[in-house]
Structure 1
Amino acid sequence: MTHSVDASDWRWGDELDAVAAAPNSHRVIFENEHVRVLEVTLEPGAHEPEHTHRWPSVMWADQPARIRYRIGDEVTFESADPMPARGELTGDWNKPEGPHSVENIDTVPLHAIRVELKNV
């Protein structure tokens, strides 16, 4: 599904970092030298700009929504229907992700918390 990369192969600049490149959907709610915690929101029909996630992370969706995940113009993943119930917590482990974008193809907003681990 994702554009996972090995941290040693990282080659993208800070301008593609999620907070810089997709600030309407990624907001820092805590950061120190060990972790960065992002609030991720994506309204129905919204398609966020291409961006990256430099560090491995755990992401919990407390308000899941159906999405399309793209690498460039290619759709590499589309959520199945139906999604888990609203309020049902779902989580995923993510390796660092190269350039990608996400589109909310649902009728409800997506809301998640992403904890990025800087020292892994």
Structure 2
Amino acid sequence: MAVHPLDAMQSAPDHHDVLYENEKVRILDTRLAADDRTPVHAHEWPAALYVLSWSDFIRRDDQGNILADSRGKPAPAAGEALWIEPLPPHYVENVGSSDLHIIAVEVKSS
């Protein structure tokens, strides 16, 4: 199965570790320290996210336009789960004071 040319593991490996992968799922351990920023990357599959620790962030597209800004929204607690659709090329800036740490279970298309 071909992966997106900006796949997170190719374009942002310092922020993502593969915990498990097969033809149906890929489980990523995603970490972003306070005041850090990822390189531009993409996630081509939808994912269930499990929050280990939260921090405010801004997600921007590859042109710098804001796609999401978590500031001013209720923060998910550690242990909370979320769903996210595939993400086009983007980068994430941790604008909070703690680490953003999430386990992502990406569901591959069959």
Q: Secondary structure at the match of 1:15?
A: coil
Are 1:65 and 2:60 matched, yes or no? Answer: no
1:53 aligns with 2:59: no
Once the two structures are superposed, residues 27-59 of structure 1 have per-residue CA deviations (whole angstroms, 9 ceiling, x without a partner) of: 101011111000000000001011111111111
Q: CA 1:33 to 1:84, structure 2 compared with 1: closer, same or farther past 3 Å?
A: closer
Q: Is 2:25 the counterpart of 1:35?
A: yes
- Residue 69 of structure 2 corresponds to which residue in structure 1? 78
In 1, distance between residues paired with 2:22 and 2:49?
A: 18
Q: TM-score, normalised by structure 2?
A: 0.86
- In structure 2, the residue corresponding to 1:16 is in which secondary structure? coil
**Greater Cα shift, 72-81 or 101-110:** 72-81
Unpaired runs of at least 5, structure 2? none
How much has 1:84 moved relative to structure 2? 4.2
Equivalent pairs counted in the alignment come to 106
Alignment partner for residue 22 of structure 1, among 2, 5, 12? 12
Instruction: Select the residue among 63, 81, 84 that pairs with 1:91.
Output: 81
CA 1:31–1:69 in structure 2 vs 1: closer, same or farther (change >3 Å)? Answer: same
Q: Percent identity?
A: 35
TM-score, length of structure 1 as denominator length: 0.80
Q: Is the 8 A contact 1:14 1:20 kept in 2?
A: no
Alpha-carbon separation, structure 2, partners of 1:14 and 1:119: 13
Q: Which runs of 5+ in 1 are unaligned?
A: 1-12
Root mean square deviation of aligned Cα? 1.7
